[in-house]
Amino acid sequence: MYNEKLSKFFKAKGLKQKEVGEILGFSPVMIGRYLHGTANIGSEFLISLSKNFPDVDLNDLFAPEKEQNMVNEDRAVYEKHDILNDLEEIEDRIHTIRLRLAEKKFEE
């Protein structure tokens, strides 16, 4: 699972939860929840992770360990920046929708 891969990644870098939290902008408690799999990570975390640790491969992070009947594309290259751009675009769209909803008055 992704939480185990993240734990190994940060451990290999010699980082503790508190240090990871400071770098990524999350509390050590929240980092602990992510690394132990008791909380699902969101787009803000992924964006911060990609910006602060560009050597993290998000595709590998979420790839199943042992998946049968999986199609492997030998020559496929997935750019990390594409994922980051997609996440930022989604965040921008959500923000715009929230602003539009805040401007409207709903009648019951």
pLDDT exceeds cutoff 60 at 74: no
- 68 pLDDT band, cuts 50/70/90, is very low
pLDDT, tens digit, for every residue of 14-45?
999 999 999 999 999 999 999 998 998 888 99
Predicted pLDDT at 59: 81
The fourth-level CATH superfamily of domain 2-103 is lambda repressor-like DNA-binding domains (1.10.260.40)
Query: For residue 65, how many C-alpha atoms fall within 13 Å in the half-sphere facing its CB?
Result: 5
DSSP-derived letter for residue 68 is T
Q: Are 6 and 61 in contact (CB under 8 A)?
A: yes
Q: How many CB atoms lie within 10 A of CB 84?
A: 17
pLDDT, tens digit, for every residue of 75-101?
555 555 567 777 788 888 888 888 888
| Domain range list for the chain | 2-103
